[in-house]
Chains A and B, each alone.
Chain A
């Protein structure tokens, strides 16, 4: 028998990424046949009888009680993101920040410690540096490329490692597979903020992450319309391997003596984050915003392809431009993490570009003030192209040295490439660059 005639073994026919982004988490036949996910605009849910009420509170049965804890529309979003990430379970929140906060509060107690990448979204830096210490949780910051540094920073009371795969705004990568090994040797989970990647570009669970968080506000929702966040559980982390996580593994007073790890195994973290975190902190996502995010996710891979191809075009354009001093994007061959990015982000390196404009701060100001198509605002991951000049806007109070520590410089412009026609983006940049070459002339007009 030739190889061609050999009976091929059975193939798995579970739905693939593009199909899941349209369908996962939703069964129309249980929702009046409604093809689109209904918006369950309600605070609370009828109990069949007292027995049913008790059963829901005791986690004897699944179901909804009160929309702070769970909601059917939000539930579809949670399952959809869990399916796309390859995770077991997810919990959606009112913003990316609340997803990060709930993750930390589910993991840590006062007296605990985290090892954290130093290149993070500014809000996250504040949370770790200034706010968490108020709750008795301390952090050690390590530069994302300093893989050994993560190991050295682990203490006896360290409960996890946290980082963004591609740090903002310097585009430095952390070596997720290696850092996950370091975390697992220490018996602690690796938590990755994958906002900039979305599961279309990278599924961190495949590279050793244990918990993934997203600001869904950005590329996942994609249209700059709605705030949302999510935490997703990989389901592979063994909470019972050591005694570091007693609120997961021992009968927990905070939830009627329940041992989350024993009862819920691969979904224990999400169950605890919901049962305790949503109950006590309450940053729940509105059903309308959940629906808006779902609408965005339907076209995630189509949009991400265009975001990435436009970004690569822009990288080429900027590299060749006389007004540009430098360009930082993992697709640039001499980017220090070029090879690692190719491995971890095979479908595209994302649409965040940082570049230096010749002429320093004044040129930056002129560029930003004169572009017409690109929007000057404090967000990323919109379908529209966004620009910001940190030294004159968000970080204007910083001196040269502090800017440098934050990975910023006076000439840096941060660009979140949208999905407009690439020619129009380039034409708009030409207007900005022209103004930047004659800053005084233009600003006097």
Chain B
């Protein structure tokens, strides 16, 4: 579905079902340099089970127009504008990686709008490896290769995609190369590196929060994810074994199961 936010055209997948304003809204926010497609094994389920789903392409990413937003704070405000633009007063948020920083900040800024928060491979801060950051800002495709290497756990490196016939590392790599690397990954990595408010924002969060972490996540290790979760009152933590940072694809079924139980309990749909 396409709609406008701040005058710019935005694309969001509605999970294969028509967008229906009578159903509760779940918004999915992708990680650095990626697109709505990373969420395909979660969004379609919710769309077919009583929710309205928006898996966004951030500005300048995937099929959305405009330029990439330069800070996590701008992205957080933009998510709030998305909720307004589609005619809702509230939503549940789900974020992956950089999307966790964005959704934490958004929840802290707009406490009345956000009803539940689900974080996958999240941390309170994501300082970037300086070499990786430089490569991405220079538009070097090696940045994507390194990201795909580090983002997949040992099992994911072999493959074993839940969708028959798909190969993790190359699929992820193609998503990250779908637009100009410098203008997506480069800008996103810099925004992550600059963002310092994660732990303060977390302390303000009073809504049901879930963190899904993975034992082989090199980008946001379990230790860092726990540090963040400990600051959020009553937050739940689920840890997946033998899985890397791309848990939403590497262990899509497990992630869906935990997410399903969390969202249907804390933000039920009457549909």
Are A55 and B162 in contact (CB-based, < 8 A)?
A: no
Residues of B within 8 A of A80 (CB): 159
Any chain B CB within 8 A of the CB of A218?
A: no
Residues of B within 8 A of A55 (CB): 45, 48
Interface size class of A (residues with CB under 8 A): 35 or more
Any chain A CB within 8 A of the CB of B258?
A: no
Residues of B within 8 A of A92 (CB): 165
Any chain B CB within 8 A of the CB of A145?
A: no
Are B149 and A27 in contact (CB-based, < 8 A)?
A: no
Residues of B within 8 A of A343 (CB): none
Are B35 and A265 in contact (CB-based, < 8 A)?
A: yes
Any chain A CB within 8 A of the CB of B85?
A: no
CB proximity to B under 8 Å, residues A7-30:
9-10, 12-15, 23-27, 29-30
Are B148 and A267 in contact (CB-based, < 8 A)?
A: no
- CB B39 to nearest CB in A, in angstroms, measures 10
Are B129 and A10 in contact (CB-based, < 8 A)?
A: yes
In angstroms, Cα B166 to Cα A76, docked, is 10
- CB A240 to nearest CB in B, in angstroms, measures 7
Are B160 and A30 in contact (CB-based, < 8 A)?
A: yes
In angstroms, Cα B158 to Cα A92, docked, is 19
Query: Hey, what's the 0/1 contact readout for A198-242 against B, CB within 8 Å counting as 1?
Result: 000000000000000000000000000000000000011000100
A24's partner among B44, B148, B167 (CB-CB below 8 A) is B167
CB proximity to A under 8 Å, residues B188-246:
242
Are A82 and B170 in contact (CB-based, < 8 A)?
A: yes
Residues of A within 8 A of B256 (CB): 61
In angstroms, Cα B173 to Cα A267, docked, is 12
CB proximity to A under 8 Å, residues B123-175:
129, 131-132, 135, 142, 145-146, 148-149, 155, 157-167, 169-171, 174-175
Are B35 and A75 in contact (CB-based, < 8 A)?
A: no
Any chain B CB within 8 A of the CB of A88?
A: yes
B165's partner among A54, A78, A258 (CB-CB below 8 A) is A78
Residues of A within 8 A of B164 (CB): 62-64, 69-72, 74-75, 78, 274
In angstroms, Cα B165 to Cα A335, docked, is 39
Any chain B CB within 8 A of the CB of A266?
A: yes
- CB B42 to nearest CB in A, in angstroms, measures 9
CB proximity to B under 8 Å, residues A242-267:
256-258, 262-267
Residues of A within 8 A of B157 (CB): 14-15
Q: A58-B44, A59-B44 are in contact. Are A14 and B145 (CB under 8 A)?
A: yes
Query: Hey, what's the 0/1 contact readout for A78-92 against B, CB within 8 Å counting as 1?
Result: 111011001111111
In angstroms, Cα B51 to Cα A57, docked, is 19
Are B44 and A79 in contact (CB-based, < 8 A)?
A: no
B149's partner among A12, A62, A76 (CB-CB below 8 A) is A12
Are A79 and B253 in contact (CB-based, < 8 A)?
A: no
- CB B72 to nearest CB in A, in angstroms, measures 24
Are A263 and B13 in contact (CB-based, < 8 A)?
A: yes
Residues of A within 8 A of B5 (CB): none
Are A83 and B159 in contact (CB-based, < 8 A)?
A: yes
CB proximity to B under 8 Å, residues A21-70:
23-27, 29-30, 54-55, 58-64, 69-70
Q: Dominant SS at the B interface?
A: helix
Any chain A CB within 8 A of the CB of B81?
A: no
Q: A62-B41, A262-B13 are in contact. Are A10 and B131 (CB under 8 A)?
A: yes
Any chain B CB within 8 A of the CB of A289?
A: no
Q: A12-B145, A14-B148, A89-B165 are in contact. Are A266 and B160 (CB under 8 A)?
A: no
Total contacts A-B at CB 8 Å: 148
Any chain B CB within 8 A of the CB of A310?
A: no
Are A60 and B48 in contact (CB-based, < 8 A)?
A: yes
A10's partner among B13, B45, B146, B160 (CB-CB below 8 A) is B146
- CB B134 to nearest CB in A, in angstroms, measures 8
In angstroms, Cα B201 to Cα A379, docked, is 67
Any chain B CB within 8 A of the CB of A94?
A: no
Any chain A CB within 8 A of the CB of B178?
A: yes
Give B1's nearest chain A residue, CB to CB.
A262
- CB A251 to nearest CB in B, in angstroms, measures 9
Are B252 and A83 in contact (CB-based, < 8 A)?
A: no
Are A236 and B165 in contact (CB-based, < 8 A)?
A: no
Are B159 and A58 in contact (CB-based, < 8 A)?
A: no
Residues of B within 8 A of A87 (CB): 167, 170
Q: A14-B169, A24-B167, A265-B35 are in contact. Are A79 and B175 (CB under 8 A)?
A: no
Most buried by B among A26, A71, A236, A265: A265
Any chain A CB within 8 A of the CB of B111?
A: no
Query: Hey, what's the 0/1 contact readout for B23-56 against A, CB within 8 Å counting as 1?
Result: 0000000000001010011001100100000000
Residues of A within 8 A of B160 (CB): 25-27, 30, 79
Are A91 and B40 in contact (CB-based, < 8 A)?
A: no
Are A240 and B165 in contact (CB-based, < 8 A)?
A: no
- CB A254 to nearest CB in B, in angstroms, measures 14
Any chain B CB within 8 A of the CB of A351?
A: no
Are A24 and B158 in contact (CB-based, < 8 A)?
A: yes
Q: A14-B148, A263-B37 are in contact. Are A63 and B162 (CB under 8 A)?
A: yes
- Given A13-B149, A62-B253, A80-B159, 13 more A-B residue pairs with CB atoms under 8 Å apart are A24-B159, A27-B159, A58-B48, A59-B44, A60-B44, A61-B41, A62-B162, A64-B164, A89-B167, A236-B177, A263-B37, A265-B62, A266-B171
Which B residues form the contact surface with A (CB < 8 A)? 13, 16, 35, 37, 40-41, 44-45, 48, 62-63, 129, 131-132, 135, 142, 145-146, 148-149, 155, 157-167, 169-171, 174-175, 177-178, 242, 252-253, 256
Q: Can you report 28 A-B residue pairs in the complex whose CB atoms are below 8 A from each other?
A: A9-B135, A10-B132, A12-B146, A14-B157, A24-B158, A24-B159, A26-B158, A27-B160, A29-B242, A54-B48, A58-B48, A61-B162, A62-B161, A62-B253, A63-B253, A70-B164, A75-B165, A79-B161, A83-B169, A86-B170, A89-B166, A240-B63, A264-B37, A265-B35, A265-B174, A266-B175, A267-B165, A274-B165
